[in-house]
Structure 1
Amino acid sequence: MPLNYHHLRYFWAVAHDGNLTRTAERLNLSQSALSTQIKQLEDRLGHALFDRRGRQLHLTEAGRIALDHADAIFATGQELVATLQDSGRSRQALRVGAQATLSRNFQIGFLRPILSRPDVEVILRSGHPTELLEGLATLNFDLVLLNREPPDDGLAPFETHRLAEQPVSLVGTPARLNPDLPLATLLRDQPVILPTRDSTLRMAFDAQASRLGISPQVVAEVDDMAMMRLLAREDIGLALVPPIVVKDELASGRLVEARDHPAIVETFYAITLRRRFPNPVVQDLLAER
């Protein structure tokens, strides 16, 4: 039996509104009639599309997949009405959440294999690890990029994929940083730009400074690696960053790197959710690693 696109459009409207009553009023339908239309679509597809929790509607995994296809179907219809060229192709959405402090250069490097694919649309959001993992658990993300493993609390079936690791360096302008000086001397004599105290890098740095018996002069605490790079370029202090964050500045000589590295390593992880219907683009990305 062919798919009833009226049922699909009703589902599409409710999924975007997130509220059955509001959608019914907007479409000038009774709630019972709208519920019946969606139930018929669920029967046709063989899967529940919404998880009904009180008055709230939350998409199931099958519902998220159905919404992706509905978005593509109705976008194509809009293109047809607008008489656009018919050379475009349907695009598969990839929803990625990235920790706000994570290197932009690393994110681009990880996503590069699919950025030029005409069949993929990348939707990238940044945020705190807790909210990103909550979004992953509720299927608002297909994949989350972090520099720490998620807590193993058993509440969500997270899968952790270790992508890469690299040492963290002190970097600064050539006028401020003598690459040959020992780490302890640099930390005693120069102000430093550090990640915020809730980051794994900051905790590791504070522990190492304590072992060295040093209380560095912290000139800035920043939760964004791109901002740390800019502050280092402004020569307000030495920045504690992975070299990938400042690779262009190191290559040009605008910034230099201390040869005596802090004994700190940043590890990059891709976190996914164990799903019955995994996004094939995620599988393609992870296969590249």
Structure 2
Amino acid sequence: MDQLNLRHLYYFWVISREGSIAKASELLDLAPQTLSGQLATFEESVGGQLFSRERRRLVLTELGQLVQSYANDIFALTGELSETLRLAPADRPLRLAAGVSASIHKLIAFQLLQPALKLNRRVNLDCRTGRAEDLLLSLKRKELDVVLTDRMPQTEAVTDRFAVHPLTSSTISLFAAPEMAGRLRDDFPASLNHQPLLANATDAPYFQKLMNWLTISNVRMDLVARVDDSALIKVFGREGLGVFAAPTAIKEEVCRQYQVEEIAPVKAVTDQLYAITRSRKVAHEGVRAICSGFDQPR
């Protein structure tokens, strides 16, 4: 079957719902003989019988059930499309496909996306997480409208393919379970010496800056785990397995949600976030909201 005839598929779908060619022909305003011929042509194209007769009623075969399941999805979507196209352009849902680097904390990612979700129209968000390099490739293929990342793409890629929009920045704070945090606040940062450290395995840029700061401060921490999920690393910290870093901008949410406490902020270390688009002039309303929603450091 090189090409599926959607009209024949639609005729089959109506017959399957009505249970007989006679009822379907009335609904479609076609002669029963014509509809029967169209069904036979469709069965030939799919390579099998779609109905069997039981007590004067058409019953779907196994192949017919399979084809009907796809037809249900197809015509549900076409019906939704028809309803959407009847709306005025300003009332139609806005589709936003956004990529978010896995190294960005989930609470921060939500804050970055929030301006688009607050538009005065419905937004259908398709949000994907992953490596920045993979997301930028999807952006180049026009599978994404924007990529949110915490690392600047290579200069050649920026100038030749993408536009970079600086968003917000935040200092970094260190967190731990309450007992450990209380103990490490005294004589900070020397108190961190030989304490267990939980690292972000996605090599977030701010973590590399943090390690440099520790070296300059003559502090050597013991790396006990590398965790590539920003939520899981906080759970490990809550259970007392070590100290972890997170943006100061979300410290209240981190402490409340994961029942940890801030040890201290590290003002020398910042986390800068960017929105990457295919063009400097952004046409997508949702992407414009994101790019203009965060322009002040935190």
CA distance in 2, matches of 1:77, 1:137: 28
Report the TM-score, using the length of structure 1 for normalisation.
0.65
State which of 83, 100, 103 in structure 2 corresponds to 1:101.
103
How far apart are residue 196 of structure 1 and its match?
A: 2.5
- The equivalent residue for 1:187 is 192
The residue type equivalent to 2:277 in the other structure is: T
CA distance in 1, matches of 2:203, 2:239: 25
Conservation of the 8 A alpha-carbon contact between 2:248 and 2:265:
no
How far apart are residue 76 of structure 1 and its match?
A: 5.9
How many correspondences in the alignment? 220
The residue type equivalent to 2:232 in the other structure is: M
The residue type equivalent to 2:137 in the other structure is: E
The residue type equivalent to 2:264 in the other structure is: R
Conservation of the 8 A alpha-carbon contact between 2:181 and 2:263:
yes
- The equivalent residue for 1:90 is 92
- The equivalent residue for 2:151 is 148
Which of the two has greater helix per residue?
Answer: 2
Q: 1:247 to 1:159 in 2, by over 3 A?
A: same
Report the TM-score, using the length of structure 2 for normalisation.
0.64
- In the TM superposition, 1:122-137 aligns within 5 A as 122-137=125-140
Unaligned runs of 5+ in 2: 7-74
CA distance in 1, matches of 2:105, 2:196: 22
Q: 1:94 to 1:180 in 2, by over 3 A?
A: same
1:279 aligns with 2:281: no
3-state SS, counterpart of residue 231 of structure 2: helix
Conservation of the 8 A alpha-carbon contact between 1:180 and 1:260:
no
Conservation of the 8 A alpha-carbon contact between 1:101 and 1:224:
yes
What do residues 136-157 of structure 1 show as CA deviations (whole Å, max 9, x unaligned)?
1111111111111111115743
Conservation of the 8 A alpha-carbon contact between 1:226 and 1:245:
no
The residue type equivalent to 1:175 in the other structure is: E
CA distance in 1, matches of 2:81, 2:291: 35
How far apart are residue 215 of structure 1 and its match?
A: 2.9
CA distance in 1, matches of 2:222, 2:210: 13
- The equivalent residue for 1:115 is 117
Unaligned runs of 5+ in 1: 1-23, 30-73
CA distance in 2, matches of 1:123, 1:252: 25
Where has structure 1 moved over 4 Å in runs of 4 or more? 86-89
Conservation of the 8 A alpha-carbon contact between 1:100 and 1:128:
yes
3-state SS, counterpart of residue 259 of structure 2: coil
3-state SS, counterpart of residue 175 of structure 2: strand
- The equivalent residue for 1:234 is 239
The percent identity for this pair of structures is 24
Q: 1:196 to 1:185 in 2, by over 3 A?
A: same
How far apart are residue 255 of structure 1 and its match?
A: 1.6
1:174 aligns with 2:149: no
CA distance in 2, matches of 1:170, 1:275: 36
Cα RMSD (Å) = 3.3
3-state SS, counterpart of residue 150 of structure 1: coil
Conservation of the 8 A alpha-carbon contact between 1:183 and 1:262:
no
Conservation of the 8 A alpha-carbon contact between 1:148 and 1:269:
yes
Conservation of the 8 A alpha-carbon contact between 1:170 and 1:262:
no
